[in-house]
Chains A and B, each alone.
Chain A
């Protein structure tokens, strides 16, 4: 069994209204030293695969086909055997 942890975030050049809202909330809590807040998603997937390489290939494909939108997002992931 393999476990994949996938991080999906908005591309750097894409504005993040959710991050901006959270930043202003943090500011109102007294955190004045904030330069930027950006919010992403984490997706955890458990999957069966013949090898780590095969699991990575499959997760890559999932990221490309559904989990991220290449117009606005980028992704990274780590796969480990469990």
Chain B
């Protein structure tokens, strides 16, 4: 089992992901420079957070045309596990692997804080270990995390159980008060229809050790490892 972390110019959470997978989870992991064109030998590919290409034009818009992207699309279509975190999520939206788009946060402020996430779907490779743990504490840090999807698309992702995480309070109560950025229906993370591509604004790689204030991010990585072991 091998994890790959894609590095774009401007990625800045790649080392956090690498550290967590190598040192906390003791799993094989490699960086994948965005100019590479194949993903042979990888079982799970992570698009990390950051500001790829300086967020020019739109977040993720330029990274989406990096040389590695056709291989990621193909990998996803073959059923490979893909996780986009924060900017990685924005890139997956621009690529069309996930539906919707990101807008500037509702109050036009960069938000860096801990949030609680209600796990809405535990039937995914990324969340199946959350069955007895329906609320996760994981930090967010973004300026463009205001998830938007039109009405028809929203009906579709609700119907197909594609919404994986919603911003909630500590008890898992989803309300306007627990929505940090204005996202439609408090959406914090979604999967594609096949369920093998996850995009999420919160940073699970920053919640992997007690010293960081939460270990809840491990539920996601451990789910992936267990899933791949099967």
Contact = CB atoms under 8 A, between A and B. Distances in A.
Interface of A: 10, 13-15, 17-18, 20-21, 66-67, 69, 71-72
B108 interface: yes
Nearest to B59: A69
B203 to A, nearest CB: 22
Contacts of A18: 104, 108
Contact of B101 (A15, A17, A71): A71
Contacts of B103: 10, 14-15, 17, 72
B52 interface: no
B42 interface: no
B120 interface: no
A67 B101 CA distance: 14
Interface string B86-119: 0000000110000111011111100000000000
Contact of B100 (A20, A67, A71): A71
11 contacts: A10-B103, A14-B148, A17-B103, A17-B105, A17-B182, A18-B108, A20-B108, A71-B93, A71-B99, A71-B148, A71-B150
Contacts, number: 38
Nearest to A70: B101
A59 to B, nearest CB: 15
Contacts of A15: 103, 106, 182
Given A15-B182, A71-B101, A72-B148, A66 B108 contact: no
A67 B19 CA distance: 35
Q: What secondary structure prevails in chain B residues at the interface with A?
A: loop
B106 A69 contact: no
Contacts of B193: none
Contacts of A21: 108
Nearest to A13: B150
Interface in B55-105: 57-58, 61-62, 65, 93-94, 99-101, 103-105
B61 A69 contact: yes
A11 B105 CA distance: 17
